Every structure is written in structure tokens, then in C-alpha cells.
Amino acid sequence: MTTTTTTTITTTAEEPCTLVPINLHNSAEFAELKQQRRKCGWDYEDANLIAWRDKQDANLKSFFWITIPSQSTDADAPRIRAGHISLDSYADPPDPELATADRSNLTIQTFFIDPAHRGGLGRKAMDIVETMASEEPYGSPECKYLTLNALSKRYFYEESHFWDKLDRVRPAVCTAEWYERRGYVYWKSEPRYHEPLLEGDDAIVWADFLRKPLRK
């Protein structure tokens, strides 16, 4: 009589979204972030990334890869870096309503999801960062507000013709409204960015500022 032994192997499902610290002192990660920033269309020069690296070194910028499981059947395949997000205790330019070094206000300044991986991933990443903001080591239990800014809603409504002047495609989603649906509340607009116009001059672009209370 032959006895057959059956071995059952149990695998644990990978997390659909995890945040992994970015090491900008690593040349490969530096290059990959630069590539993602080029896709984003903003802040992709070496000087931008070096400035962020300096803020990381000063413990003012917590910067993460947004990772998802590999689509490979290889169990050892690395997770995909599908984007990046930061949780910062400084604002550029400085604005204590946005962020402070004591982390009583924290801001999300650098957020990008590769278009190939959109479809709910941004919400998952924001859920994680919002939890991080009120916990050490990246946030603080004393954090009052999580803040951010986004391209003003005016460019999607009363000034939608603005996009005709740019060498840039109008975004499909108004991110300010997307953040409002997550509970962020508008409190001001300010001229914030410079954007080159087709005729060669620069336009001053307005941003809407939003925040979400973390303490009741």
C-alpha cells in the first residue's frame, strides 16, 4: 500500500498598495524618479530632485514610492513603482499655514501616479499618507491639518480657454475637486506657478489651497 502525502502551500496575498521610502542618493532611484517626473510634466530637472534630496536629509521631506504587486508569476519579482508621494514639514515657498517644521501642519507637495496604473491607486496612497500624518515617525500626533494645493478650479470652468495658450493637454480630472471629495476644504487661492505660453512668455498660474483637519 502506497501512502501519498499532500503538502499544502499557503501564500499570503500582497498588499495592493504600499509606500516605500525613496533613496535619492541611489543613482538608479534618482533616474527613475526623474523619469516619472517627466511623465508628470513638472519639477523634473536635476536641481529639483537634488533640492528634494536635501530636504530628505534635513528630515523635512518624507518621500515614498507608491508600489503595487508585480504582474509577473515569479514569486520573487519586485513590486512595481507605480508613482510617488511625499509628506512634508516644509512648504516651497515657505508658508506656515501649509507646513511647519514641528509638524503641527504637514503638506503633500509631490504626488504622481503613472497613468498606466491609475484607477483607484491614488485613493489608496492618500489613505496611507493621511494615517501617517498623525503618527510618528513621518507625522505627529500633534498634527492639526494635512494640507495641499492643486491647479485652481478656475482653469476648468470660467478660464477653460487657458489651455489653448499652453503646450500642455488639459488634465482629465480637476484635482482640487478630487481632493474636496476626500474631505479637504478650500481656504484660499494664490498665484503659485510659472507656465510657458506658446508665444514664448510665461503665465502666472493660480493654485487652490485645501486642508483636512486631523484633530477634532
Is 53 found in the same domain as 121?
yes
Is 133 found in the same domain as 84?
yes
Is 50 found in the same domain as 127?
yes
Question: Average pLDDT of the chain?
Answer: 88
Does residue 29 lie within any of the structural domains?
Answer: yes
Average pLDDT over residues 144-173: 85
d(CA 90, CA 2): 70
* pLDDT computed for residue 2 by the predictor: 47
Does residue 9 lie within any of the structural domains?
Answer: no
d(CA 81, CA 177): 26
Is 125 found in the same domain as 50?
yes
How much of the chain exceeds pLDDT 90, in percent? 64
d(CA 209, CA 95): 11
d(CA 144, CA 116): 34
39-93 pLDDT tens trace: 988 898 999 999 999 999 999 999 999 999 987 667 778 899 999 999 999 999 8
Weakest-pLDDT range from 68-72, 95-99, 157-161: 157-161
Q: What pTM did the predictor assign? A: 0.86
d(CA 136, CA 108): 16
* pLDDT computed for residue 130 by the predictor: 97
